Chains A and B, each alone.
Chain A
């Protein structure tokens, strides 16, 4: 039996990522290795190719293949009110802090197709904070932002989302927030009236404002520790004093160079308050 060598495969993947960076200027070199490898492997199956080198050739010579790759590599779809305790803790621990500000700026970094943007907008509206808040929902991929702007999701997902909403401490009936049409749920435009959807790339772009809350859940897991540290610097610099960084439930700031500048706000969920 011919044994595949992990080292050789790693070399091939490195070459492919170097090639994409040099030719297209997109930089996946500091993505988490096993995640990017998995996306590449899946892409090979979809493209019916048997080697990484063959995929590299097609990516470099066929821009439409590159488009497909960008979508496959960069989309991390979440669900509404994913991890309900997170949203319950947001209500309990972050909302009281936000009430002390006349105006609230929130950056939702890596918003993908927007499920959690609408979740947060619903929460803020129930707490009477949406009108004086501005949500900046960013992603580096323009096509997922288009979906996020539309706020249209499959009707089949509403059962799970309703469950999540109830568990998160939702105060109304979830179906009040959307209109069902054919197989889709269209979310109320009022929810996104204070949301700015914009393209921003965590890998290379700079800070663009100062925020009271930065929410970035299950995005950094796709990066390696080097890139995570760079993004943590960006978040630190973009948070105001006493601002809150909200991460995914299995993420932490223990690998951030700014770990000492934060204190944990709630025990179980990943809210970190900037204290210096």
Chain B
């Protein structure tokens, strides 16, 4: 499989899962990884600081029209929708979607329309149903969807909604999602553990 970009969505309680995912990424992780996490407006750049501590890959909170580069972690800024264009990001202050801004649906759908079969989407633990429609878009454009196994997720409704909305999503525990990323998103085949 030839992925171009990884997009991951989770809700407010997903910090533990995101931290586990990022801390397991090797130095030779060779794709852009975009994280859409529901968050409080006031959270500022706190999340960026927390996540930078667990990975050697550079973490940044997106500004409008920032370039999308491989081997970097991008965070959706609070109170904006993050949209993915070919090679760059765009932001919007359109109304919240399913009560969320940033919305996983909006980000996933735009990623699908820009990168088609090159999108690998990951839905992690979360409450609500944001991400389900987005995951369906990813499939419609030929991308691949991984969903954290609800039985191992702290909050099950977001993964469950994504499974219900898709036809061929891979339902995996977090550890296997991580190995999938190792096998498919790293330079030089076998990853070098750090």
Contacts and interface: CB of A to CB of B under 8 A. Distances in A.
Contacts of B84: 34
Contacts, number: 86
A3 B141 contact: yes
A77 B94 CA distance: 7
Interface of A: 1, 3-6, 9-10, 32-35, 37-38, 41, 76-78, 82-83, 218, 220-222, 225, 228, 248-252, 255
A6 B114 contact: yes
Contact of B77 (A4, A37, A228, A250): A250
Given A3-B140, A3-B141, A250-B91, A38 B63 contact: no
Interface in B62-109: 62-65, 77, 79-80, 83-86, 88, 90-95, 106, 109
A221 B64 contact: yes
A3 B117 contact: yes
B29 interface: no
A162 B112 CA distance: 39
Contacts of A5: 116, 141
B141 A4 contact: yes
Contacts of B63: 250-252
B92 A221 contact: yes
Given A38-B83, A41-B109, A221-B80, 10 more contacts: A1-B139, A1-B167, A4-B140, A4-B141, A4-B142, A218-B93, A221-B91, A225-B65, A250-B62, A252-B63
B10 interface: no
Contacts of B112: 6
Contact of A38 (B64, B91, B106): B106
Contact of B93 (A9, A221, A225, A228): A221
Contacts of B109: 38, 41
A33 B87 CA distance: 12
A6 B83 contact: no
Contact of B94 (A3, A38, A83): A38
A35 B92 contact: yes
Nearest to A247: B64
A36 to B, nearest CB: 10
A4 B128 CA distance: 27
A9 to B, nearest CB: 6
B110 interface: yes
B91 to A, nearest CB: 5
A34 B85 contact: yes
Contacts of B110: 34, 37-38
Contacts of A4: 116, 140-142
Contacts of B167: 1
Given A3-B117, A37-B113, A32 B85 contact: yes
Contacts of B95: 77
Nearest to B89: A34
15 contacts: A1-B140, A3-B116, A6-B141, A9-B113, A32-B85, A32-B92, A34-B90, A37-B110, A38-B92, A76-B92, A76-B94, A222-B92, A249-B77, A250-B80, A255-B65
